[in-house]
Amino acid sequence: MHTYKTLTLSEAHLILDAAQQKAEALGVPEVLCVADNAGYPIALRRLDGGKVTSVQIAMNKAFTAAGHRKPTHNYKNALPGEEAFGIFTQHEGRFTVFVGGFPIFVDGQCVGSIAASGGNGEQDIACCEAGIDAFLATLKK
């Protein structure tokens, strides 16, 4: 039998708070999603002005990052002509190769993920990294 750790709701809110602060500092109306270790949403936050289409995109990025234990931008081999092309059609189309989804690891184990949708790739990444950094800082106390 295996025991798996996953993020709690309070941890998800801490992560979202930091990611939201970063998005607001950048002036980007992000949609932010924190998922559990299986890729299912724990908490989602649509900032004022966040696009309605970004809601599903953020959830899909979080699903992909947690499910495959890799950042979503690592799937360059899923582009046309590459060996993993078509992978985005799996899991009812929830698998995504868009930038802005990151797994969150504690002691080498994926405990969840964070995703951002609404900015450009660099902005989405910055928001995710801010959330992860804030969470990991609480573990060092």
Cβ-based neighbour number of residue 138 at 10 Å: 10
Predicted pLDDT of residue 78: 62
Arithmetic mean of pLDDT, 47-57: 97
CB neighbours (10 Å) of residue 77?
12
pLDDT score recorded for residue 37? 97
Domain assignments of the chain as residue spans, ordered by start: 9-139
Looking at domain 9-139, what is its CATH homologous superfamily? Haem-degrading domain (3.30.450.150)
Burial environment of residue 122 by CB neighbours within 10 A (0 to 12, 13 to 18, 19 or more): exposed
88/84 Cα distance (integer angstroms): 9
73 — pLDDT class (breaks 50, 70, 90): confident
Cβ neighbors of 138 (< 8 A, separation 6 or more) are 11, 14
**The one-letter amino acid at 128:** C
Grade residue 120 by pLDDT with cuts at 50, 70 and 90. Answer: very high
- pTM of the full predicted structure? 0.89
